[in-house]
Amino acid sequence: MIYGIGNDIIEIARIKKAIEKNQAFRDKVFSQNEINLCEGKANKYQSYAARFAAKEAFMKAWGTGWGEGISWNEIEILSCKNGRPYLNLLAKTKDVITKENNFILHVSLSHLKDYAIAQVVIEK
């Protein structure tokens, strides 16, 4: 059963500007695993932006936004060896989500030169 669906689109330049202007933004929004992954990419800002969009999409699918104990850098979007992205929840955010039930999380990322988009489906 589908519990929630969320999607988000963002301008890559907006994320690039935020990271370059304020390193604390990067550390607040992204986990160390995500930072390591993105910094290893040829166009790291596309990867950061796609992950930012996925975090927004997750919060929309969950239905609470940033509140309710959900933290930006506790929502990780990582990649399998084959490149497929997946959501990994950490710490307090994981506790909030798993407190209700076991959910299956699906994520899709895409980007072009100027935009990144993500969709998240939460299945119960």
* Catalytically active residues, by annotation: 60, 111
The SS3 of residue 116 is: strand
Token output for 19: 């990271």
CA–CA separation, 99 and 28 (whole Å):
24
Token output for 49: 């932006």
CA–CA separation, 46 and 65 (whole Å):
23
Nearest to 62 by CA among 32, 107, 20: 107
The SS3 of residue 47 is: helix
Query: Which residues are bridge partners to 9 per DSSP?
Result: 117
